[in-house]
């Protein structure tokens, strides 16, 4: 039993950390969500999110390797305990106040709701506590230090590669080969969101709550005060549910997805594009279009710097980060299917 718990805990830590190191920019964006003013309200930490994310992910894989191999078991379990207490606080806070709806524990590979993530953290916390009390029964491997150092080096190289390239394994719904049209469809018979309306009406001078079936508007002399819509149960959500390409007041999403061949340059922030010359040449040579959440004024200034005309469309900021992490990055679509994905 001790060995099983030890290996399971260690493997989970290694998998969790490696998934983050495979996509360090994605984990950075998730930490930025936690640091924002409407969540933990520590905006001064946002510029450090990338470094924090790398350190946290690397600690996870090192602790996992240490627990499996028995290297510095006592210290590894103490650090593991502190980490799960910290993660438990974050996930409980997110769940209770409904702040960050996806914890990012396993990146885009496995999605947990905040409550599911909190439960997972508490189970792993209990496993860590159990191992602490039976740590004397954990036998250290002969080459435990080699394993820990090797895992740390591999994780660091993986993170570095993924920062300067696209992730080796892409778990996002916009990976090469993905059909965006298919990813946006609701399967036949899929469960839908279920909502309940709470109506507030003043009757005989008293404000009370009513359900829709009460039909309070039919009560004689009732005065409408307000209505609140509450989500009762979450239905099926397509992998791609927020991909919309807008120009002005019009939605061009489907018309672009129907194109036989199109290069789409995604930029998280056009004011932070360093190589304008390279961008200009690529757009001119490939008749590419620009997709960005940046303000229209910033896009106009970019076009003036490049001295060429090209089509540009706005997109949601989070969606843009999900499509491609880098600024800028390129997706090549053929009839809505991703055939190429690279950094520009």
List residues bridging with 343 in a β-sheet. 329
Residues 119 and 251 reside in one and the same domain: no
Q: Is residue 183 part of a domain?
A: no
Q: Show pLDDT as tens, one digit a residue, over the chain (344 residues).
A: 788 999 999 999 999 999 999 999 888 888 888 888 777 788 888 888 888 889 999 999 999 999 999 999 999 999 999 999 988 888 888 878 777 766 667 667 777 787 888 899 999 999 999 999 998 888 889 899 999 999 999 999 999 999 888 899 998 999 999 999 999 998 888 888 888 999 999 998 899 999 999 999 999 889 999 999 988 877 888 889 889 999 988 999 999 999 999 999 999 999 999 889 999 999 999 999 999 999 999 999 999 999 888 999 999 998 999 999 889 999 999 999 999 999 98
pLDDT score recorded for residue 103: 63
pLDDT score recorded for residue 104: 64
Residues 209 and 247 reside in one and the same domain: no
pLDDT score recorded for residue 34: 82
Produce one character per residue of 166-194: b if its CB has 16 or more CB atoms within 10 Å, e if not: bbeebbbbbeeebbbbebbeeeeeeeeee
Residues 52 and 101 reside in one and the same domain: yes
Range of the structural domain that residue 204 is part of: 194-233
Q: Give CA–CA dist 120/249, Å, rounded.
A: 43
CB 258 within 8 Å of CB 334: no
Residues 151 and 204 reside in one and the same domain: no
- The answer to whether the Cα torsion of 124, 130, 133, 134 is positive or negative is negative
Residues 48 and 120 reside in one and the same domain: yes
pLDDT score recorded for residue 107: 64
Residues 21 and 158 reside in one and the same domain: yes
How many domains would you assign to the chain?
A: 3
Of 232, 208, 229, nearest to 219 by C-alpha is: 208
Of 51, 332, 312, nearest to 343 by C-alpha is: 332
CATH of the domain at 263: 3.40.30.10
Q: Is residue 23 part of a domain?
A: yes
Q: Is residue 174 part of a domain?
A: no
Residues 292 and 208 reside in one and the same domain: no
Structure-token pair, residue 70: 């028995």
Q: Is residue 202 part of a domain?
A: yes
């Amino acid at each position: 039993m001790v060995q099983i718990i030890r290996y399971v805990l260690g493997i989970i830590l290694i998998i969790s950390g490696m998934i983050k190191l495979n996509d360090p920019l994605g984990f950075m964006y998730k930490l930025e969500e936690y640091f924002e003013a409407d969540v933990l309200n520590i905006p001064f930490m946002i510029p450090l999110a990338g470094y924090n994310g790398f350190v946290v992910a690397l600690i996870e894989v090192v602790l996992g390797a240490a627990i499996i191999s028995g290297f510095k078991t006592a210290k590894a379990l103490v650090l593991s305990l502190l980490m799960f207490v910290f993660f438990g606080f974050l996930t409980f806070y997110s769940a209770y106040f409904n702040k960050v709806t996806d914890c990012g524990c396993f990146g885009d590979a496995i999605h947990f709701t905040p409550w599911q993530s909190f439960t997972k953290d508490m189970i792993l916390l209990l496993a860590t506590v159990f191992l602490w009390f039976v740590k004397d029964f954990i036998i250290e491997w002969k080459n435990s230090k080699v394993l820990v150092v090797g895992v740390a080096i591999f994780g660091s190289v993986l993170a570095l590669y993924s920062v300067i390239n696209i992730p080796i394994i892409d778990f996002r719904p916009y990976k090469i080969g993905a059909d965006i049209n298919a990813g946006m469809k609701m399967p036949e018979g899929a469960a839908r969101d279920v909502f309940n309306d709470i109506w507030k009406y003043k009757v005989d001078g008293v404000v009370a709550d009513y359900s829709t079936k009460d039909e309070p508007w039919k009560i004689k002399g009732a005065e409408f005060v307000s209505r609140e819509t509450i989500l009762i149960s979450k239905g099926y959500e397509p992998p791609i549910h927020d991909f919309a390409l807008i120009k002005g007041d019009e939605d061009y999403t489907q018309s672009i997805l129907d194109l036989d061949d199109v290069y789409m340059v995604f930029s998280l922030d056009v004011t932070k594009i360093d190589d304008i010359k390279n961008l200009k040449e690529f757009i001119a040579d490939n008749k590419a279009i620009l997709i960005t959440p940046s303000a229209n004024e910033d896009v106009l200034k970019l076009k003036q710097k490049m001295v060429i005309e090209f089509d540009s469309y706005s997109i949601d900021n989070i969606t843009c980060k999900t499509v491609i992490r880098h600024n800028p990055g390129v997706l090549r679509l053929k009839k809505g299917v991703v055939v190429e994905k690279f950094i520009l």
